Structure 1
Amino acid sequence: MLHFSTVISRRGLRAAGLLTSGTVTLLLAARAWVAAPAELTSPAASALVLPTPSAAPRLAPPTGLPTLTKTAAVPADTSARGMAAVWADVRRRSLFLSADRKTGTLRAGNYAQRLTATFEPRSYTVATPTPGSAALAWQVRFTLRGIGRAAAPGLPLAAGAVTPSTHEGHTSYSHPAFAIDYDNTPAGVRQTFRLAERPTGAGPVAVRLHLATDLHARPAGPGALVFTAGSSPAPVLRYDSLKAWDATGRVLPAHLRLDGPTALALVVDDADATYPVTIDPLASTAGATFNGQNPGDLFATSVALVGDLNGDGYGELAIGAPSFGAGAGMVALYRGSSTGLEPTAATIINGGPGFNFGSSVAGAGDFNGDGYGDLLIGGAGYTFNSNNAGVTYIYGGGVNIFTNPNASAAAIAGFTNSRGGTAVAGVGDVNGDGYDDFATGGPEFDGGGQNNTGSLNIVFGNASLSVTTSAPTLGGAANYRLGASLSGLGDTNGDGYADLIVGAPGVNSALIVRGANTTSFGSFSAFYLTPPNGPSAGTSVAGPGDVDGDGLNDILLGAPLAGTSGSVFIYPGSTTLSANSQPVVVFSTAESGEKFGTAVSGAGDVNGDGYADFVVGAPSFSNTKGRMYITLGQASLTTITNRPQIIEGENAGDQFGNSLSGGDANGDGYGDVVVGAPNYNVGRGRAYAYYGSPADLAAAPTATRTEPVPADNDFFATSLASAGDV
C-alpha cells in the first residue's frame, strides 16, 4: 500500500512532519509579529523577595438555568487549569466536519490555523479569510489528476458517486485501487493517499495534482515550491521537504516538479522498493517567525519553551539575542495559550553592557517550590572582578513575571574567564529534597593551572531562591571544555533521582552525574561516556526521555565533526550504564559536511504513541541552509533511525537547526518542536515552531508574520531548550 499525505496549516510555525507510516504533510503557516521592547532595567545581581502569588481564579457554577435547555455538567475543577481542559474539548469539537445542507459537500473550519476547507472525492480546497471581512484573502484547490507512471494507465478512479466515511474531524473517500483521507487537526488539514496496489508500467511513480488558485507558484531550489500573492515576492505558502521511503525503511529518491503554472507532480523512484511506500512532501507558509531587524543580533541564539511561569496552565517561550545592543543582549518572553504561542512579546529583559545576555535560556522547573515555573538566562560575556566570568540569572515565576520580571531574581557569577552561563539547564530534583535544581557550565575555565578544563555548577533548589552552589567540578585535564552543553536526563537508572549530562567536547565525551541524596558534589557518582570514533562528541547533549519504552530514560550525544556528516550517539538508560558502555546506535546521514548533531533535543511524544521522540540539527546542510531531523521513538532502538522526518531551512546561510527545543507548546498533549536559524537574514535571526498531532509533527511553522518589526526590537534565537506546556 502506497501512502501520500498533505497537511495544510495556516497558523505559522504550526507544522513539521513526523508523519505516521504513509503520510505526507503539507502546511501553510501565517506570520507573527513582535512588539517593540519595553525598556527594562538590567537583571539584579542578588536575590529579591518573591511576591506571594494570588489564588488561581475560579469560576462559579451557573445558577438559574433555563428550563428545557440541555446543559453540560460544570467540571469539578473550575480553576484556570481545570477550565483549560474544558476549552481543549471545545477546540477539539470545533474541528469536526459537517455537510452543507444544500449540496452535501463536507466542510470544516480550523480556527487554530485560520483556515476553512471543503472536501470532495478527488479534491479539496483551503482558504483563508480577509481579516474583518467575509471575503477570502486567497484560496487553493488541489485536484487529483492521476497516480501512475508515464505512458502507462494510472490507478482507476471511482466511476460513480463516492460516499465518504466520516467521523468527527476525519473523512475518507474510497476508490477502486486507493483511498483519499482527510483529517482536520489543530496542526492543519491533512490529505493522505493510500494506494492499495503498485501502478503498472516503468519509470518513477507520480501523483499529479492540478492547482487552481490566484497565487503564483514557482520553484525555490531543489524539491521546493513557494506561492506568492500579486506582485509581492514574499511567499504566502511554501511546499517542500519531500521524502519517500519503502516498507523496509529505505529512503527513496523523490522530488517535486512543477509542470507549468497549475500542474504539480510528486515524483518518486520506487525501483526495487518494497511496498507499501510512503511519499511525504511538506508544505508550509514561508513564516517570518519573530524576526530580528539588525544584522548580527543573532536572534534565536537561545530559545526555550520554559514551562508555566505565570500559573495560567500554559508554558512560555524565551528567545535570546546575545549580540543585541553591541553585545548587551536581551531575552524576549512570549505567553503560551490554548492556540499556541502568542505572536507579541509579553516582556523584554535587557542585559548590561557586554553581558551577551541570552547566550543561553532554559526552564528551571519549580526551583523554589511555589508552584510556578522559573526561568534561567545565561550571560556568558559578563565581567565580575575578572574577565569573562559569565553569569547565570534565575527569575522566579509568578503572576507578575511579565510586568516586573526582576521582582524576584538572583544571579550566580561564573569563575574567572570561564564564560559561565554558556550553557544552562533545569535538571530536575537531583538530590531528592522536593525542589528542582539547575546547572550552569563554564567551558573556558582554567582549573589546576591547565587551560580550558571547564567548570560545572549544580545549584540546589530552595524556598528562598538562594543560589548558593557547590564548588566547581572540573574536567580534570586541559581542554576538556566541560560545561559546553548541559541537559537534565530524568531518571536513567531507576533509582528515583534525576540525573544530568554535561558535554566535554574537547575530549569527545560527556560527563554523566547520577543524582543522590546529598548536597555535596563529591558524594555524587559521575563518569564519562566516550563513544568510539566520535570527534567533537559532547558538543550537544540531551535527555530525550524514554525513547524505547523500557521505563528508563535514554541519552543522546551529538558529534557534528564525526565522519563526513556528523553523528549522534544513542545510549539506552540502564542500571549498569558506566564509562565502559557503548552506544547502541550511531546515527549519521549521507550529507557530507552538514554537521549533523550540532544540536540535539528531546521532542516529547509528537504523535501520542507513548514513545518519546527526538530531533537533531544539521545547520551546515546545503551551504548552511540547514536541516532538522525528527525521529519517532519505538521499541527497538537499533532500527529507530530508518525513517527520520526531514525539514529544511529557507535560505542558504540561515543555519536552520543550529538550535532545537522540544516539548508540548500548546497544551494538547502532543510534543512540539522549536528550531532556531540565528543567521537568517544576515544574522537577524528567526525561530520556527512545529506542532505535534496524531499525524506526527505538522510541517508548517506557526506564529509567523511578514510585517516589519521596529528596528530596536532585535531579539531572535540560537540555542533552544526543553519545552514546557504552552
Structure 2
Amino acid sequence: MRKQRNTKKSGKGAWSFRFVGVAFLLAATFGFVACSQTSPTSEPVVSTSPEVVRTGEVVPVQKLNLQNTSAKKVIPRGLRMAMISTLQKDAPKTFQLKKGVLTKGVQTFLASNLPQRLTTMFHPSQTQLLSQPGEENWQFSIKLDSVGYEGKVKPVSLAQRKAAGNRMTYTYKGTKGALSEWYINGPLGVEQGFTLSSEPQSRPSKQALLVLKLAFSTNLRAEMLPSKQGIVFRTADGKKSLYYRELFVKDAKGKTLPARMKLDGKQIILLVDDSKATYPIEIDPVFNTQTKVLSNDATEDDNFGYYSLAIDDSGDRAVVGAVYEGGTGTAYIFTRSDTTWTQEQKIFASDRALTDRFGRAVAISGEYIVVGAPDKDSTGSNSGSAYIYNYNSTSSVWVQQQILTASDAAAGDQFGFSAAIVGDTVVVGAPNDDSGSGAVYAFVRSGTTWTEQQKLTGDGGNFGEALALNTDNVAIGAPSDDGTGNPGGAAYVFTRSGTTWTQEQKIQPSNPSSAALAFGRSLDLDGDDLVVGIPQSGSSFTGSAAVYTRSGTTWSLQQTLNASDADQLDFFGTSVAIDGGFVVAGAPGEGLTGSVYTFTRSGSTWSQTQKLTPSDVSTFVGFGRAVSLGASITLVGSNGYNGADQTGAMYVFQETTNSGTCTAASLSSTPVSPQVAGTSILFSASATCSGGVIPEFKFYRQQEGQGWVMVRDWGSASYIWDTTGAFSGNYNWQVWVRKTGSTATLDAASSIMKYEITNGASYCNNVSMSTNPTSPQSEFTSIDITGNVTCTNSGTPEYIFYIRNPQGTTSLVQDYSTSDTHNWTPSIAGDYILYVWARAQGSTEAYQSTTFASYTITGNACNFVGLSAGPASPQTAGTSVTFTGNATCTGGTAEYQFWLRTPAGAWSTLCNYSTSTTCNWDTTGLAAGSYVIQVWSRAQGSTNPYESIASDSFVIQ
C-alpha cells in the first residue's frame, strides 16, 4: 500500500502496464546482479503446457536478483488447504447428501451446492456433477479406474460406499492396503480425496511415481491449467464451467508431498512422489465452478515485499521491507533508470535485535524514509519503534537520522506496525495500544529533529493498523472496530489545522450488519479521494474495496469495487492504492498466485481495466499482498518463489500507451515433417503487429480424427513438442496471436500446419458400429453388435461394449478384447442405447474412439412405474393405507407386486403380482418407525421378476 501522496496523475490516455522487473527472488546481504533479455471453429480442449500464462499488459523485460542470504521459514505448508478443509467440514446442513431415486434396489444420493451452482449425484460406481437448472446444460462423470506405480498400474473395484452428512465415501479392492475415495460437499466446491493406508503395491523402483487414474466422461472440453495443478472444463463456446484443482497431498506426519496432474484422453492422472512419505497419505483435489483455486505448499522466508513496499511520487525510487531477513528485518532501496532498477542500499536498525520485524512498514517522501519495527522491545516487549533515514547527497548514502517511539509507549503496543510520511510529517500506527484499541502518533521535523506532535485515537478496533498521509490529511484504518455491533471495521479521516489534528469523519461499511469485514485493513488517500479495502467481505472472503469522495468536510461512498472474476478466499482489497482516477487492489488469494486489479474512473463511475498477474511463477505466492503507486509505476509485493523456498518478490509494472494490434501470424517447425516418434520438435511463431505492440502466442494441436487441444497458453513465440509416446499419424497445428495483455480471444491466427509422426504408438480412429438384424426387433431376438475401426501403425484394435436399458442404467456387457462382436438377447421391450469403444491393443487409455446408436425392442413391457399412498405419510398405527401403482407400458396390461420393509430391515410381500393397481395395508398393531414401500411392475405374462421399480418411505407414529 502506498504510504504517502502529494502529487496527482492527470488520468489522460489509456492505462496499461509493462512488466519491467522482479526483485528479490533471493534476499541479499551484499551485491546485486541484473540481466535482461484461419482460427479453429471452436477453442480446443487440453492445456498441457508448463509455460507461464500472463494476463494483462505484462511483458517480461528485466529480472533483478540479490544473492548471499540465509532464510528462515515462518509459515507452515498447507495453510491454504487447511482453511479449505475447515470451511468444507463445517458446511451447513444445506450441503448434506439426500437420497435420490432407488433403482432396482440401489440408492443414488444427491448433493446440492448453490454457491458453486452444482448438483452432484453419487451413483454406485461413479460420481456425476451436473449444472443446475437455469445454467448452461453440462454434465461430468468421474470414477477411479486404477492405482499403482508408473508402469505397474492395476485396476481397482468398488467394495462399498457410505453416505454421512455432507460426505460420501467409496472403498475399493485391488490394492495391498486400504484405499478409500471420499467427497465432501461444501461452499468451496465438491472436495475429492483419496486415502491410502500403505503403498498400493510393491514399488518397482525408488523413482517411480504413485499413479491414480480416473476415467471421466463429459460434454465439456478439458484444458490443463499451466501450473499442472488443475484442469478447467469449458463449454463449446469457451465458457469456463468447472474446475478440478487445489491438488494437495500430505502424509501421516503432515509433510506435503510433490504432486501434479495431467490429462490423457478421457483420463485424469494424479502423480505423487511418495518415495519419502510416511503412510497413510491423503490426496486431495477439489471440484468447483469459480475461477479460483490455491497452491498447497506456500512458505515464507524473508518476506521481501510481502508486507510493505513504497514508491516515491517521481516513480524513480522504491523502498521494500523484508521483515524476517537475518532474523531482525531489513529494508532495501532501489532506484530506476528508464526500465532498469538497481539496488541503491540495504538499511537496517542501528539497535537491531532478533524478531524486531524491522520493515513491517515502509514509506518514502523525497529524501526521507520511515521504517517501522513493531516488535522492537524499546519500552517493553513488542512496544515498537520507527526509524527515520535521510539521504546524504554528498556521500550518496542513506543515514539513520532518528529512532521514534511513542511518548506513552507500553509493552505490546506494536508502534511501527504502519507508517506514512509526506514532507516534514510522519505518522506511525500502534494498533495494539491500550489493549488493542490502537493509536496513531504524528511527528514533525524541525531541522534534523523529529518531535511528537499529537496522539490520535478513535473508538478502538486496532485503530492505526493502516495509514495514508496526504499533507494535512491522514486516513486511519481500524479493521476490528465494532461500532456497528459487529467487528466490521472503520476508517477515519483526521485533518490538521496549524499544529492540531481533528477528526473529520468516521466512515463505516455500508452493510454494518455483516461481521468481520476487515473494513479498513488497507486504505489510501489522494486529495479528496479515499479507497478502503474490505478483504473479508462477500461470500467466503471474496473481498471488495470502496471509494469515497469528499465534498467540503463530508465523505460519501462513490462506488464499491469488485473483481470481475471474484471467488472465495480471494481477499480482494487486502492492499489498495489510489492516484487520481486510478485504483489498484490486491487479491493475494486469487487463483494459484494472487492477482492485482486495476480500475479507472470516468466521471463518477469506476470500471475494471486490467488484471495483473506475475509472469514467472505458477504456485501460490500471495501476489498482491502489498501494492504502491507512483508516477507511471505500480509496485506489487508477494512472498515470491525460488525452488523450495519463498523469500519474497517485488514486481514492477510500468504504464504503456501503445494502441496497436497484431494482424497476421505464421508458424514454422524445426525439424520439418515427417519425424519419428521421440523427436523433439520446435515450433516457432511470428506475427505482424503495429504500434510497437509486443505479441503473445497460444499454440493448438489436433490429432487426426480428434478435437483441438491447447498445448500452450498465451506466452512466448516458441513451443517444444516432445513426441515421446506420441501416436503415429497426422497432426494439425495452429498458433494464435494477440497483443500482450489483451483480453481479446485472438487478434489473428496462422494457417493450419500439418505434421506427421511415424513409428509411434498405434491409434484407433473413427470406430463405427453395425447391428444384425437392424432395429427394431422383438423381445428375445438374438442380435449381433459389431464394431469396426482402423488403427494407425498396423495396430490391433480391441473393443468394449456397453448397453443402456430403457430405465436409464448403463451396463458393461463385454470388456475390452480383440473380439469385434457382442451377441445380445434383450428380454424387455423399450428403447436402448448401444455403445462401442475402441482402442489399440496395449493402450491404457479408457478409449481412443467411441460411437453409439439407439435400438428399439418391441413387445409388451412396463418401463416406468409410479407409486402413491392414501392417506399420505405420516399416520398413526391402525390407519388403513392404500398404495397405488401407475405403470407406463409399451403394450399389454401391467401387473403389480407390492413389498414392505419394516424399520428393522425385514422385507415381505404385501400384495402378490396381479393386475390390480392398488394394495391395502392394515397398520393395526404396527410398531412406530419408518417403513419402505416398493412396487414392482411388469407386463402381464412376462417372466421377468420386474421391469420397473418405485420406492417410497412411510412413517407410522
Q: TM-score range by the shorter chain?
A: 0.3 to 0.5
- TM (norm. structure 2) is 0.27
Larger RCO: Structure 1 or Structure 2 (Cα < 8 Å, ≥ 6 residues apart)? 1
- Rg larger for: 2
